[in-house]
Chains A and B, each alone.
Chain A
């Protein structure tokens, strides 16, 4: 019977392990960012910045994305996971490889254990992606839907990004690539950030926004437009990075991606306009902030591509681009969605058995709105200060921003612990 997706829900422990990993990672990343903020400048290819970027992506964003997908794939595709044991094995490989890899890359320790940790990490990501894709493909009808194609193409880009990352790790240890490693690094970053995370958020976001906001009837064409344009644009951009330079192709790719993001924003606006829930909560504000960060990153990318800038300003803009893309676009989206996912999981596993027998709180009542609002304000405020500090080259401003951002991430961990502690 359709609509009984909860019967396919994976074990609470599996999802909780991934989300817990990511929440700890978010605090560690914020602490590391605070430690590095005073001197956060210069070219991006340095251990400190590469370490921060990978701690953010691998320690925070990706484990939460995996945890959310393990919960959502059975719901969205109406199938059970193929094998929870495989998901646990993938997490083990991912955790061991990821911790080792981030340590090596932060120190730029180009020793034999660098490719070894990268290999374990690569295996973990590959296992996760393959397992999720095979689970989703068990329902071919849903797999061919707009959401299905977003999720499956996101997983394909993840495998591509992880493969490039693994090749780059070997190259750092023993240089062998004929292609410029900085160009390969750009392809890796864009495949991971826009290809995996961007497409995943777009596809799942459409579905979740309609569900949470009780919005119906938004036309699907901007969604199909976003799917096609971002995928085609990324292929063009990566081809330019890996086989180029082909300036015209890069321009077409960037334009396609920008149009795709605009299509995404148009559909989000259509969903918002048709919503039946009038009040927008902190989760919605964080998600809106995330979309603005993505649009901001596009503006910075355009400025970097077409304006004749000095080295110093170029470096600042690259850092601003990274801030807007990682803790900005991905981080605020992840926290915003977690404010929906974590209370729902706790509600499902601890409170749902009492529905119909006694009054139980709703999922959102497991955490007071004020706590969410304070955290969201700290997070957005911290990011804005950091961004201003990076663009202005002001150490004090960067430090103030990083300290505020750290407070926000500690506060978000506190909020999730409060929800986790709720019992009937």
Chain B
């Protein structure tokens, strides 16, 4: 699998991890900033954010990402980095996410 294919696979898998309050998956909510893949050691690094730094479900979402990505064939290690630079804004919600939230 090429790095691009693996990144795509990881992103697709994150459609299965949901924010418990809104019910939106992390991709459509716009929480996933970046995905990196190191074929040498099988490590996937996910850089993500939360809608607010004091998100009560933050830890759960990190664990969910780790669990889901580690089920992908070829992944040996998952690292999740949380950043608030740039901070999340509603503009990061995808059109599908907006539709699910009742807009359009």
Residues of A bordering B, CB below 8 Å: 1-7, 9, 75-76, 78, 207, 210-212, 214-217, 274, 276-279, 344, 347-348, 351-353, 355-357, 359-360, 362-365
Number of A-B contacts (CB under 8 A): 118
Q: A2 with B57: in contact, given A277-B22, A277-B101, A278-B102 (CB under 8 Å)?
A: no
Q: Is the CB of A4 within 8 A of B58?
A: yes
B59 lies within 8 A of A216 (CB): no
- Taking CB atoms, residues of chain B closer than 8 Å to A357 are 67-68, 71
Known: A1-B82, A355-B61, A357-B68. A212 touches B56 (CB 8 A): no
Q: Which of B14-60 contact A (CB under 8 A)?
A: 16-23, 49-60
CB pairs A–B below 8 angstroms (23 shown): A4-B59, A4-B82, A6-B59, A211-B52, A211-B55, A214-B51, A214-B93, A276-B103, A344-B20, A344-B21, A344-B56, A348-B60, A351-B20, A352-B57, A355-B61, A355-B63, A356-B17, A356-B64, A356-B68, A359-B16, A363-B20, A364-B21, A364-B23
Number of interface residues of B (CB under 8 A): 40
Could you tell me the distance between the alpha carbons of A215 and B57 in the complex, rounded to whole angstroms?
Answer: 17
Which of B16, B20, B50, B90 contacts A216 (CB under 8 A)? B90
For the complex formed, measure the closest distance between the CB of A219 and the CB atoms of chain B, giving whole angstroms. 15
Interface, chain B (partner A; CB < 8 A): 16-23, 49-69, 71, 82, 84, 88-90, 93, 98, 101-103
Task: State A223–B74 Cα separation when bound (angstroms).
Answer: 50
Say whether, besides A344-B20, A347-B20, A362-B22, A6 and B60 are in contact (CB < 8 Å).
Answer: yes
Q: How far is the CA of A9 from the CA of B60 in the complex (A)?
A: 12
Which one of A3, A9, A215, A348 contacts B82 once the chains associate, using CB atoms below 8 Å? Answer: A3
A77 — nearest CB in chain B belongs to which residue?
A: B54
| B49: chain A residues within 8 A (beta carbon) | 3
Is B103 touching A278 in the complex (CB atoms < 8 A)?
yes
Chain B interface main SS type: loop
B20 touches A5 (CB 8 A): no
- By Cβ-Cβ distance, the 9 closest A-B pairs, closest first, are A278-B102, A6-B59, A355-B64, A356-B68, A356-B67, A356-B64, A362-B23, A3-B58, A352-B60
Q: Which residues of B contact A355 (CB under 8 A)?
A: 17-18, 20, 60-61, 63-64, 67-68
Q: Bound state CA distance, A202 and B56, in angstroms?
A: 19
**With a CB–CB cut-off of 8 A, which chain B residues contact A78?**
53-54
What separation, in Å, do the CA atoms of A59 and B23 have in the docked complex? 34
Let me know if A214 and B84 touch, CB within 8 A.
no
Determine if B57 and A348 form an interchain contact, defined as CB atoms under 8 angstroms apart.
yes
Q: Which of A2, A215, A274, A348 has the most CB of B within 10 A?
A: A2
Complex contact B54–A207 (CB within 8 A)? yes
Please measure, in the bound complex, the distance between the C-alpha atom of A274 and the C-alpha atom of B71, giving whole angstroms.
38
Asked whether B54 lies within 8 Å of A352 as measured between CB atoms, the reply is no
Chain B min CB distance to A267 (Å): 16
In the complex, the answer to whether A5 meets B103 with C-beta atoms within 8 Å is: no
Contacts of A75 in B (CB 8 A): 54, 56
Give the docked Cα–Cα distance between A211 and B53 (Å). Answer: 10
